[in-house]
Structure 1
């Protein structure tokens, strides 16, 4: 009986020892497994460290001024050499510049009241434009022709005296009229480049376009016409101004040639005080050269 109880005790002790050993192994196993769990966070932290290193590379990408440079160039270059593609206007005249540049063109001047105001506004906004001059007005106001040239703007022939039927006259009469207008411009600005012609009222004929080409001038029509010259009776200057702004904003897109007038149209100057900043932010404004 006594031996039997000792045996049982021995067995009990051995069982306890075995259980203790197993528990110890399990504890050790869980202890070594914990670092593996703690190795998971480094993988999410990798993108964070990469992002943190990004500023270090930022100095090499420092030319952040470059995004603002095109805006400055768009308004200060403001000139294009153009062989336009859009020959879809009357008699093969040009509707568009052939580039993304938008050309602002002003007809019927120079006007002693409005042209200086327009030139001042264009200079303030650093925009170049194209002036389609009538020969008789150029002869009357040579100082304004000089001011247009000194402002970096370009010239366009708009006939000698705005004869709406010029395109239907004889070849000799058409040529003499256009040459006389060019001569009036060059009397004020010798050797002025006059590479464009716009028929009075846009009344182009194939013969007029052909003769203009022989004189070295492209014939330009327009893509956008706010009809600034047409202020209906009873319409206020403010309402007329708002109409001009609305039409130009709505219809101007890349490459458009925009028609306006700087002769006896004060609402046009009012409108361009609003339009020039608006257009500069959205388009490259160019002078046809």
Structure 2
């Protein structure tokens, strides 16, 4: 059918994650949150709210090291394993199903390390580059529609900087996609 997976990276963020959660709740939409360990440690209550609202969880490493694929094995193991354990610690019973490499900088070692932690690698097929400075909500919406197809994995961010434009874009995108007959599900 016509479904998409909405993913949100680099949180949780104390300002933007609650706004995103409110929108998702309003439209009864579920998303996948790719969480950074340092943010999880700083905002455990937001992780618990993400889980309570029924969203899926993704390990996005402890520190979002864009060069992780070049790091020694012990660092790779720490970044992936410590983030997963921390998420599970602050939200007991939660399942971290996915792993996303920081910046999409994948390597066979990262994929293998994630699989050893029983996580599936999570990429994306729609990237409106909402993290770029100066991006407007309208440009984010346009880029999503240009790249969108049934089965798309949409990459957006609820952390890592000012995400006001992303939140504004979601206010437009979610109802548009629902009206177009899309449903929101977990990444395939």
Q: TM-score, normalised by structure 2?
A: 0.94
Question: Which residue of 2 is the match for residue 173 of structure 1?
Answer: 75
Question: Which residue of 1 is the match for residue 170 of structure 2?
Answer: 272
> Per-residue CA shift, 1:52-104, capped at 9, x if unaligned?
xxxxxxxxxxxxxxxxxxxxxxxxxxxxxxxxxxxxxxxxxxxxxxx753100
Question: Which residue of 1 is the match for residue 5 of structure 2?
Answer: 103
Question: Which residue of 1 is the match for residue 136 of structure 2?
Answer: 240
Larger RCO, structure (CA 8 Å, separation 6 or more): 2
Question: Which residue of 2 is the match for residue 257 of structure 1?
Answer: 153
RMSD: 1.4
Matches for 1:207-226 after TM superposition, within 5 Å = 207-226=109-128
1:199 aligns with 2:98: no
Matches for 1:110-121 after TM superposition, within 5 Å = 110-121=12-23
Q: Offset at 1:288? A: 4.0
SS in 1 for 2:98: strand
Matches for 1:132-151 after TM superposition, within 5 Å = 132-151=34-53
Does structure 2 conserve the Cα–Cα contact (< 8 Å) formed by 1:231 and 1:240? no
Which consecutive aligned stretches of 4+ in structure 1 deviate over 6 angstroms post-superposition?
none
Q: Offset at 1:150? A: 0.6
Does structure 1 conserve the Cα–Cα contact (< 8 Å) formed by 2:128 and 2:143? yes
Higher helix share: 1
Q: Which runs of 5+ in 1 are unaligned?
A: 1-98, 233-238
SS in 2 for 1:287: coil
Does structure 1 conserve the Cα–Cα contact (< 8 Å) formed by 2:122 and 2:187? no
Q: Offset at 1:206? A: 0.8
Q: Offset at 1:231? A: 2.1
Higher strand share: 2
SS in 2 for 1:108: strand
Aligned length: 185
Q: For the pair shown, which has the larger CA radius of gyration, 1 or 2?
A: 1
Q: Offset at 1:191? A: 2.6
Does structure 2 conserve the Cα–Cα contact (< 8 Å) formed by 1:154 and 1:288? no
Instruction: Please give the alpha-carbon distance, in whole angstroms, between the structure 1 residues aligned to 2:179 and 2:90.
Output: 34
Instruction: Please give the alpha-carbon distance, in whole angstroms, between the structure 2 residues aligned to 1:215 and 1:240.
Output: 37
Q: TM-score, normalised by structure 1?
A: 0.62
Q: Offset at 1:193? A: 0.6
1:281 aligned to which of 155, 176, 179? 179
Q: Offset at 1:252? A: 1.1
Instruction: Please give the alpha-carbon distance, in whole angstroms, between the structure 2 residues aligned to 1:152 and 1:188.
Output: 15
Q: Which runs of 5+ in 2 are unaligned?
A: none
> Per-residue CA shift, 1:213-258, capped at 9, x if unaligned?
11111111110000000024xxxxxx61110000111211111100
